[in-house]
Amino acid sequence: MSADQHTTAQHHDHSSMSKKKIWSVFWILLGITAIEFFIALVLIPKGAIGHGLGNFIYIALTLLKAFYIVAYFMHLKFEKLGLIYSIIVPLIFIIFFIVWMLYEGNYWMHIRM
C-alpha cells in the first residue's frame, strides 16, 4: 500500500522531535513567560521601563512564544516548504487588518476628543 509507505516515510522526519527537545522548548516557553511576569510585576511598577516599551516587549515575546509552539510543538518547521508557506503567507492579511484597525481606532479617539 502506497499510503502506508507514505506514512512510514513521514515518521522518519518526526524523529527530529525527541523528548529532550520537547522539554527544552517547554523551558524556553516557561522562561519567556517568567520574563513577561518580571516586566509586569517589577519593571513597570518601579518605573524602570514605560508602558509603551513594555507593551512592545510583551508583543515581541508573545510572537517568540508563538514561533516555538508552531515550529516545534506543531512541528511545522519540519514540514515541506510548500506547507509552511501555505500556512504562514495568508497570515499577512492579519497584519494588514491589525494596521488598518489600529489606525481606525486612533482616528475615532481623535474625533471624540
Partner 1 sequence: MMTNTSQMDEIKDTPWNGGKSPYAVEYGKMMMWFFLLSDAFTFSALLIAYGALRFSSVSWPDPDVVFQSAPGIAHGAPLVFVGIMTFILIMSSVTMVLAVEAGHRKAKAEVGKWMVWTIIGGIAFLGCQAWEWTHLHHEGAWWGRNPFVNEDGSMGSVNFTNLFFTITGFHGFHVFSGVVINIVILVNVWAGTYERRGHYDMVEKVGLYWHFVDLVWVFVFTFFYLV
Cell of 20: 529532550
Residue type, 86: S
Binding mask 35-54 for partner 1 (x = CB under 8 A): -xx--xx-------------
Rounded distance, CA 68 to CA 70, Å?
6
Residue type, 51: H
Rounded distance, CA 107 to CA 10, Å?
51
Q: Which of residues 89-108 bind partner 1 (CB under 8 A)?
A: 90-91, 93-94, 97-98, 101-102, 104-108
SS3 9: helix
Contact between 74 and partner 1 per CB under 8 A: yes
Cell of 110: 481623535
Q: Which residues bind partner 1 (CB under 8 A)?
A: 4, 6-7, 9-11, 14-15, 17-19, 22-23, 26, 29-30, 33, 36-37, 40-41, 55, 58-59, 62, 65-66, 69-70, 72-75, 79-80, 82-83, 86-87, 90-91, 93-94, 97-98, 101-102, 104-109, 112-113
